[in-house]
Amino acid sequence: MALKHYNPTSPAQRGLILVDRSHLHKGKPVKALTEGKRKTGGRNNKGHVTSRGIAGGHKQRYRIIDFKRRKWDVEGTVERLEYDPNRTAFIALVKYDDGELAYILAPQRLSPGDKVIAAKKTDVKPGNAMELGQMPVGTICHNIEMKPGKGGQIARSAGTYVQLVGRDRGMVIVRLNSGEQRYIRSDCMGTVGAVSNPDNGNTNLAKAGRNRWLGRRPLTRGVAKNPVDHPHGGGEGRTSGGRHPVTPWGKPTKGARTRNNKATDKMIIRSRHAKKKR
């Protein structure tokens, strides 16, 4: 993927860096594979704001993505790659030999006309899906299930991937982008390759309006508020906000550990925080 740098012909163009999407489909998505999507403005059923910083944004339709890839031993052809406003990665429209259409996450190096297949064991080729226990050690993969049949949950964002580094006790050992190493059941599905659009993190939106188009409102820093409005507020002159960063409701934030899932602690071999302890 290439990045597009714009000449500063206006203030909004200065510094603008976007991903080149010229290779993507120009038309609308397949209507049968989409459904309506309502904006919440960050409000719950009582009308109270429960998620700050959300409002507006361009109208979107939700694309139904096949995260499960359980249509085994039926080959499909990639019809086209498409932009999806609901995620950072691109998606691929696949037409199976039996005529069925489906959207999947597009991995890197997948092009229109390529063949993809999901099976218990298949070729190690971008876009092919199989059980993790059947993949060779060292394989780069994405859209990893954590429970068999639940659908992919790990490595779905643009440019992300997981590396399969070993096998043990009927499980596979995977290394995540965060540095964490963990066990996953061998009969969970994964898709070969890294997720498309790796340059997504190198873009520069250049103006506040582009963030508003994405549905993101500005957030005021706590240290810029009064003490009545935020625990970091107040103080003479410019103050940094104290020793321990907290949310507006006094809960520790910015790196504070919130994980409380002891049931799956045994699946983690090496924590993503291990490197920080040294």
Residue range of the domain that includes 119: 24-41+57-197+259-276
Rounded Cα–Cα distance for residues 197 and 3 (Å): 10
Q: Does 271 reside within a domain?
A: yes
Q: Does 61 reside within a domain?
A: yes
Q: Does 228 reside within a domain?
A: no
What pTM does this model have?
Answer: 0.91
CATH of the domain at 268: 2.30.30.30
Residue 141 belongs to what H/E stretch? strand 140-142
pLDDT at 278 exceeding the cut of 60: no
Query: What are the tens digits of pLDDT across the range 55-88?
Result: 999 999 999 999 999 999 999 999 999 999 999 9
Rounded Cα–Cα distance for residues 159 and 215 (Å): 22
Q: Does 226 reside within a domain?
A: no
**Number of domains the chain is built from:** 1
Query: Nearest 5°: phi and psi at 232?
Result: -85, -5
Average pLDDT over residues 1-19: 94
Q: Does 64 reside within a domain?
A: yes
Which residue type sits at 192? Answer: V
Question: Rounded to the nearest 10 degrees, how much is the dihedral formed by the CA atoms of 131, 134, 140, 145?
Answer: 20
- Terminal alpha carbon distance of the chain: 36
